[in-house]
């Protein structure tokens, strides 16, 4: 079967992108839970790693298209703190894949004006992965296009725990008074400090869970669940998610009539 994604022409794609830009707001920040690599592989009688490898192709396509659409931030949940408990072989293969992907893709990312960032317990990663990450971050640091945030050895509870720990130390040192603790103050201690909250959260493979992703940051994100497994999630599937997002009315706890005023908490309105 000829895949529809292989045969879509550049002209078709340009037209779809222009349409999306005309139809409504492009999310400033898209966060993605890339799920279903294992099931994708199993369905094809392939080893799980084959699903992860094909998943890297999806990462490449989605990063490219986010840059083209003018998305400012893309956060990919690439490895959770819980993923360390997977079979040892799968963990080491995932780490190798990540390392190779970073090594092979950094030049292209740089050429496309993408800057690479990582959030999570980066010290827990193998030193070779940390080195590739540092190289990618350094090389792309001054790029002004898409900011790609890789969530690695990350979980929302880890993020909150670290934040609370740092905040407690600052209170103890007298740098911060308990009365000064508000949402803005807390955000400064999170791994995502300086990054606007996601406007759109996409999860693939039909699962309706947040899975310990950006627990604080997703407070008002619009959620799109795609039935497609991550290795099959390419630009057309992202266009569908954005089209759906553009139909939503984001009320941030208010009523429709109040939405004419600029809203606190919306990165789209803040920009
Ligand atoms: C979830 O599928 C996917 C992961 C745990 C790993 C995601 C990693 C990649 C796509 C490759 C590297 C990423 C980058 C940023 C280059 P699953 O294994 O949980 O699938 P299942 O639920 O079907 O078992």
Q: Is 17 in the pocket of ligand 1 (CB under 6 A)?
A: no
Model confidence over 9-53: pLDDT tens digits? 999 999 999 999 999 999 999 999 999 999 999 999 999 999 999
CA angle 213, 62, 202 (to 5 degrees): 35
In angstroms, how far apart are the furthest CA atoms of the chain?
Answer: 65
Model confidence over 61-107: pLDDT tens digits? 999 999 999 999 999 999 999 999 999 999 999 999 999 999 999 99
Phi, psi of 50 (to 5 degrees): -65, -35
Question: Of these residues, 12, 13, 23, 35, which one is catalytic?
Answer: 35
What's the token pair of residue 72? 């400012």
**Domains of the chain, first to last:** 12-155+196-260 (3.40.1180.10)
- Whether the per-residue pLDDT at 242 is higher than 60: the answer is yes
Q: How far apart are CA 81 and CA 94, in angstroms?
A: 13
Taking the centre of ligand 1 as the mean of its atom positions, its distance from the CA of residue 158, in whole angstroms, is 19
Question: Of these residues, 83, 112, 134, 212, which one is catalytic?
Answer: 83
Top pLDDT among 254 and 58 is at: 58
Q: Is 191 in the pocket of ligand 1 (CB under 6 A)?
A: no
Q: Which residue in the block uniquely carries the two structure tokens 């080195």?
A: 131
Band of the pLDDT at 1, cuts 50, 70, 90?
A: very low
Q: How far apart are CA 132 and CA 129, in angstroms?
A: 5
Model confidence over 135-160: pLDDT tens digits? 999 999 999 999 999 999 999 999 99
Q: Can you tell me the mean pLDDT for 250-261? A: 82
Q: Closest residue (by CA) to atom 8 of ligand 1?
A: 78
Top pLDDT among 5 and 226 is at: 226
Q: How far apart are CA 133 and CA 103, in angstroms?
A: 9
| Beta strands per DSSP E along the chain | 29-33, 73-80, 115-119, 147-154, 200-203, 222-225
Q: Closest residue (by CA) to atom 13 of ligand 1?
A: 78
Respond yes or no: is residue 35 known to be catalytic. yes
User: 115: alpha, beta or left, given left = phi > 0 and alpha = psi -120 to 50?
Assistant: beta
Instruction: Please give the pLDDT value at position 251.
Output: 82
Atom of ligand 1 nearest to the CA of 150: 15
Instruction: Please give the pLDDT value at position 255.
Output: 86
Phi, psi of 142 (to 5 degrees): -95, 5
Taking the centre of ligand 1 as the mean of its atom positions, its distance from the CA of residue 167, in whole angstroms, is 32
Q: Which residue in the block uniquely carries the two structure tokens 């040892």?
A: 88
Q: Can you tell me the mean pLDDT for 262-270? A: 53
Q: Is 259 in the pocket of ligand 1 (CB under 6 A)?
A: no
Q: What is the pLDDT of the chain when averaged over all its residues?
A: 94
Strands 29-33 and 147-154, bridge-based pairing: unpaired
For 8-126, where are the alpha helices, taking DSSP H only? 10-23, 37-43, 48-69, 88-111
Of all residues in the chain, the percent with pLDDT exceeding 90 is 88
Q: In sequence order, what are the residues at sequence separation of 6 or more whose Cβ sits closer than 8 angstroms to the Cβ of residue 51?
A: 36, 37, 38, 39, 40, 41, 42, 229, 230, 231
Taking the centre of ligand 1 as the mean of its atom positions, its distance from the CA of residue 79, in whole angstroms, is 7
Q: Is 59 in the pocket of ligand 1 (CB under 6 A)?
A: yes
Q: Which residue in the block uniquely carries the two structure tokens 């192709």?
A: 57
Respond yes or no: is residue 197 known to be catalytic. no
Q: In sequence order, what are the residues at sequence separation of 6 or more whose Cβ sits closer than 8 angstroms to the Cβ of residue 262?
A: 269, 270
């Amino acid at each position: 079967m000829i895949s529809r994604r292989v045969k879509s022409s550049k002209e078709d794609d340009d037209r779809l992108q222009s349409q999306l830009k005309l139809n409504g707001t492009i999310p400033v920040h898209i966060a993605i839970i890339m799920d279903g690599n294992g099931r994708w592989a199993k369905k094809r009688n392939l080893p799980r790693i084959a699903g992860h490898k094909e998943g890297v192709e999806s990462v490449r396509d989605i990063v490219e298209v986010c840059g083209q659409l003018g998305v400012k931030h893309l956060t990919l949940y690439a490895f959770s703190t819980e993923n360390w408990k997977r079979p040892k072989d799968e963990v080491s293969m995932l780490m190798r894949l990540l390392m190779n992907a970073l090594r092979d893709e950094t030049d292209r990312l740089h050429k496309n004006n993408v800057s690479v960032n990582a959030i999570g317990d980066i010290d827990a990663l193998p030193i070779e992965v940390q080195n590739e990450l540092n190289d990618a971050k350094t090389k792309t640091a001054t790029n002004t296009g898409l900011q790609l945030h890789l969530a690695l050895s990350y979980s929302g509870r880890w993020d909150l725990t670290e934040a609370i720990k740092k905040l407690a130390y600052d209170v103890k040192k007298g740098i911060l008074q308990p009365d000064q603790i508000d949402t803005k103050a807390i955000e400064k201690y999170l791994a995502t400090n300086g990054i606007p909250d996601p406007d759109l959260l996409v999860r693939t493979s039909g699962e309706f869970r947040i899975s310990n992703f950006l627990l604080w940051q997703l407070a008002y994100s619009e959620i799109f669940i795609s039935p497609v497994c991550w290795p099959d999630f390419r630009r057309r599937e992202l266009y569908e998610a954005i089209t759906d997002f553009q139909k939503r009315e984001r009320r941030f706890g208010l009523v429709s009539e109040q939405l004419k005023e600029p809203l606190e908490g919306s990165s789209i309105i803040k920009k």
